[in-house]
Amino acid sequence: MGVKGKLIASVEVKCGGHLVHDIFHTKTHHISNICPSKIQSFEIHEGETVKVGSVVNWKYNDDGKDKISKQVIEAVDPQTKTITWKVIGGDLLELYNSFTIITSCDHQWTTWTFLYEKKTEDIPEPLVLLGFVLHVTKDIESHLLK
């Protein structure tokens, strides 16, 4: 059994959290155009949109390395503007037994929560990935403010 962890970070978004949520929920395929140096592609493998049960694949560049993350959408709550993504394949599972990403947006904030179980105690906390998603959020904000 590995070591469980939880990281939470919020970033202020001047464009409004509802617009950021809209990008992640209904216009996810645009993210690779908004920040192409970070996100190479987003594909839906099962399902038609980002909804519960959809299986998606991200190709991204994290800390100078090309990576892949396959995820299933576990929950979407339009009231709280929250999406829960469970990682089911890709690079993260080389280091972690489980990894869940939760995005939630309110009036002026986007919050990222990582729930994970490291395979060993020596595995680092996913702080670089947390910084990465915060930068993606700021890229989306900049795009929306244009």
Q: pLDDT value at position 64?
A: 85
C-alpha–C-alpha distance, residues 69 and 12, integer Å: 26
Report percent pLDDT > 70 for the chain: 99
HSE of 71, CA atoms in CB hemisphere, 13 A: 23
Global pTM value: 0.94
Under DSSP, the state recorded for 125 is: P
pLDDT digits (tens, 9 = 90+) for 87-111: 999 999 999 999 999 999 998 999 9
Whole-number Cα distances in Å, 54 to 51, 118, 124, 126: 6, 25, 29, 24
Q: If you average pLDDT over residues 33-42, what whole number do you get?
A: 95
C-alpha–C-alpha distance, residues 103 and 113, integer Å: 7
State the average pLDDT for the chain. Answer: 94
Report percent pLDDT > 90 for the chain: 85
Q: Please give the helix or strand (H or E) that residue 142 lies within, else none.
A: helix 127-145
Q: pLDDT value at position 62?
A: 83
C-alpha–C-alpha distance, residues 85 and 76, integer Å: 9
